Amino acid sequence: MQKNNENTVNATITGVGMYVPEKVLDNKYFEKIVDTNDEWIMARTGIKERRILENGATSDLATGALKDLLESTKTNPEDIDLIIVSTVTPDMFFPSTAALVASNVGATNAWGFDLSAACSGFLFGLQTGASFIESGRYKKVIVIGADKMSSIVDYTDRNTCILFGDAGAAVLLESTDDKNIGIKDSILHIDGIGKDYLNMKGGGSLNPTTHQTIDDNLHIIYQDGKAVFKYAVKGMADVSVEIMEKNDLKSEDVSWLVPHQANLRIIDATAERMGINKSQVTINIDKYGNTTAATIPLCLVEYYRDGKIKKGDNIILSAFGAGFTWGSIFLTWGMD
């Protein structure tokens, strides 16, 4: 439990940015490369199309998102103290993607690191970034969720290839004395029980890259979809209800549920358990598919820029992903 209300300052989101590549792969494209169809994909996942980065890496998605944020907030990159990049598709094992992003934007006074929590990566990053702000030591913290999922997707596997897309999105965290706004609470979990259900087995210290690991197809996403689905429905709904109860929030007090976009059926089940109307749920899975760490910030940016998320809105962010990792964050939006 990380209740923040007792702290003298709250961390709040004061800027946002996003980057999605131009190339679109719609469901019809997948009908040509694997045994699938638009009806199955729409009915089972809610995905219509996803974006694919043809040239470049995750740092390019993250850099695009951060540049958008810096331009829209007129922030000087030299004022950034810390950059956290949540990703499971770093450009390289090392150096970190955060290091590349910092130099790409000219954040010459920042330090930073990558954070690996798969689809919960943005939530883990946001809580981490908020804690650095609340400590009083750092003034401007950037949290980015970015993944080039197409770099680890097996485009011959119909079970997984239709699910994922590439994107990056970023938020700026700063302090506020206004107790009514900002990041108010989080409940985050991690449990290695998920390792057999959703993983990429090759390339790490367990299975260093060899001809054999390539022949065995270990460098791509493996997912037991049905098993993950069951854990995800329960995990995301339970933790979302728990954070509501802990903060005395009734369903009518929640302006928006911003869920990880892995499957529309998981999102619907979570909203139902929370007693939330579908019109209070941010959805863009139809346009982008599952972009792993980017889904939640991407929803925040789009709904804020469309004028749907407004100052004073109570928002619950919820996610479930590989590990397993899962959790919820409760915040009140502070941007006009």
**Would you please indicate which residues are annotated as catalytic (active-site) residues?**
119, 260, 290
DSSP-assigned letter for residue 73: H
3/195 with CB nearer ligand UT7: 195
107/298 with CB nearer ligand UT7: 298
Neighbour-count burial of 28, counting CB atoms closer than 10 A to its CB (0-12 exposed, 13-18 middle, 19+ buried): exposed
Write down the least CB distance from residue 141 to ligand UT7, Å.
25
Write down the least CB distance from residue 312 to ligand UT7, Å.
30
Q: Hey, what are 324's tokens?
A: 């397993």
The Cα 234–Cα 227 span in angstroms is: 11
19/197 with CB nearer ligand UT7: 197
Q: Which residue is nearest to ligand UT7 (CB)?
A: 225
DSSP-assigned letter for residue 205: S
DSSP-assigned letter for residue 182: E
159/213 with CB nearer ligand UT7: 159
Write down the least CB distance from residue 33 to ligand UT7, Å.
11
Angle at 43 between CA 38 and CA 49, to 5 degrees: 45
The Cα 257–Cα 81 span in angstroms is: 30
Write down the least CB distance from residue 230 to ligand UT7, Å.
9
**Within 10 A of 22 (CB to CB), how many other CB atoms are there?**
8
3-state SS string for 184-219: EEEEEEECHHHHHCEECCCCCCCCCCCHHHHHCCCC
- DSSP 3-state assignment of 87? coil
175/292 with CB nearer ligand UT7: 292
- DSSP 3-state assignment of 86? strand
219/234 with CB nearer ligand UT7: 234
- Site for ligand UT7, rule CB under 6 A: 36, 40-41, 44-45, 119, 158-159, 162, 225-226, 228-229, 232, 262-263, 266, 290, 320-321
Number of alpha helices (DSSP H) and beta strands (DSSP E) in the chain: 11, 13
The Cα 114–Cα 196 span in angstroms is: 23
Write down the least CB distance from residue 302 to ligand UT7, Å.
19
Cα–Cα distances in angstroms (integers) from residue 245 to residues 23, 239, 253, in the given order: 42, 10, 11
